Every structure is written in C-alpha cells, then in structure tokens.
Structure 1
C-alpha cells in the first residue's frame, strides 16, 4: 500500500512538469506569433483610427 501512494505522488509530479512545459510552449508561441502579426494588423488599425478620430 505504501508503494502505491508513492507512485501516485510521482505521477502527480510528472503531470505537473508536463503542464509547466506545455504552458511554456504556449507562452513562447503566443509571444512569437504576436510579434509577427502586430505588423500585419497595424495598417488595419490605422485605417479604423482614421475613420473615427
């Protein structure tokens, strides 16, 4: 019974590490894509800003 609880704790730690890595990948992807798409939407933003000052 003792070994089973230890294995369950190790599994929880492994899931926590996986979630942290997935979150890091998502943050990195959003940062990279956000910087790339900012230039793409600047003309659209300027267009709408000129319509309604």
Structure 2
C-alpha cells in the first residue's frame, strides 16, 4: 500500500492531465461567452428593427 501511494505521489502525468483539462475548460468557456455575445448582438441588430415595427 505504501508503495502504491509513493508511486502515485511521484507520478506527474496526472498533474499534466489536470492542467490540460483546466486549459480546455477555460478555452471552452471563452468560446461559449464569445458565441453568446455575438448572438445577442446579432439578435439586437436584426430583430430590434422588426420588434420596433409592431
């Protein structure tokens, strides 16, 4: 059991995987935020005049 714990602590591959996962999450959050801002802007640009006519 001690050997397994020691090997787990010494293994750095898991830390690298976690770092890549955090980077992937941050990039996906930025993509979603950008898409949302773009969608809201386009919605106001195209549907704003239509709503104003009613």
The normalised TM-score by structure 1 is 0.70
Moved over 3 A (4+): none
Q: Which runs of 5+ in 2 are unaligned?
A: 1-10
2:19 maps to which residue? 9
Aligned positions, number: 44
Q: Which runs of 5+ in 1 are unaligned?
A: 45-53
The normalised TM-score by structure 2 is 0.69
Q: Root-mean-square deviation (CA), in Å?
A: 1.2
